Amino acid sequence: MEDFNENELSKVAIDCAIKVHRNLGPGLLESVYKECLYFELGKMNLLVEKEKPLPVVYESIKLECGYRADIVINNKLILELKSVEGINEIHVAQTLTYLKLSSCKLALLINFNVLYLKDGLKRIIKGKL
């Protein structure tokens, strides 16, 4: 699964997220969903990194500013997880920032605090709104 492209990885990630959501339902802390999704993705023979640091490069200086992507898969796909009443523009902006700071072109913004997970999914492409 190392040679999967972003779209194939996003399908795997969504399938795993749906499994986690079906088992746990809405209403838990984001950290619970993150741990369970990390566990599920780990079973898929993927390079899965949790809380991956994303440094800011300013005038060729690497600054560790505390930005961390929730989950990064195969250095190609970012998963930004939420457990909130609804996704708003600040969540989208945060995810776009993570894409800008990384080499990834695609991110999934996933809100687990919904009745049906499909209603909590947002696909975000680097450079597009």
Would you say residue 10 lies in a domain? yes
Phi first, then psi: what are they for 109, rounded to 5°?
-95, 115
Q: pTM here?
A: 0.94
Tokens of 10: 């996003």
Which of helix, strand or coil describes residue 50?
strand
Residue 100 lies in a domain: yes
Residues 12-40 pLDDT 10s: 999 999 999 999 999 999 999 999 999 99
| Count of residues making up the chain | 129
For the chain, percent of residues with pLDDT exceeding 90: 88
Domain count, the chain: 1
Q: Is the dihedral of CA 51, 98, 114, 10 positive or negative?
A: negative
3-state secondary structure of 69: strand
| Confidence bin at 11 (pLDDT 50/70/90) | very high
Is 1 part of a structural domain of the chain?
no
pLDDT confidence tier of residue 62, bands split at 50, 70 and 90 = confident
List all residues 6 or more positions away from 74 whose beta carbon is below 8 Å from its beta carbon: 1, 2, 4, 9, 46, 47
Instruction: With respect to residue 88, please indicate whether it lies within any of the assigned structural domains.
Output: yes
What is the span of the domain harbouring residue 111?
A: 6-125
- Is residue 45 in some structural domain? yes
